[in-house]
Amino acid sequence: MGTVETTVRNDVEQLGDLTGIEPSLAEMTYALAHQIDLATSGECDACGEPVPQGDDGRTLPQLNRELRQTLAQLLEGRATDDDDDLGDLASPD
């Protein structure tokens, strides 16, 4: 695993148990992160052989955008709905 994939896996692990479509989204993030690592390292992580860069790195920005969007979608369901930190002040304790 490269540094991007390792970091993404650690970030997703911190979310805890995944439910619904979250496992599928997590797998997509791992695959995208792996492709980013391959594109930036220029070599196969399994055998160390050079990976052909036929697109001259043009897919890297697209992979980055897709990874960010997939991570955002994964986190979207985890966002708290309580935006009002002081909303319960009127309630007696």
DSSP string, 1-14: --HHHHHHHHHHHT
What number is the average pLDDT over the span 11-26? 93
Residue 12, number of CB atoms within 10 A of its CB: 21
The confidence score (pLDDT) of residue 91 equals 59
CB 22 within 8 Å of CB 74: yes
Global pTM exceeds 0.85: no
**In DSSP terms, which residues pair with 43 in a beta bridge?**
50
pLDDT value, residue 83: 53
For residue 14, the model assigns a pLDDT of 93
CA distance 20 to 25: 10
Q: Which two tokens stand for residue 2?
A: 């490269």
pLDDT per residue as tens digits for the range 26-80: 999 999 999 998 888 777 767 777 766 655 567 889 999 999 999 999 988 776 5
Q: Which of 36, 89, 78 is nearest to 59 (CA)?
A: 36
- Distance (Å, whole) CA 36 – CA 4: 7
- Better-scored residue on pLDDT, 81 or 30: 30
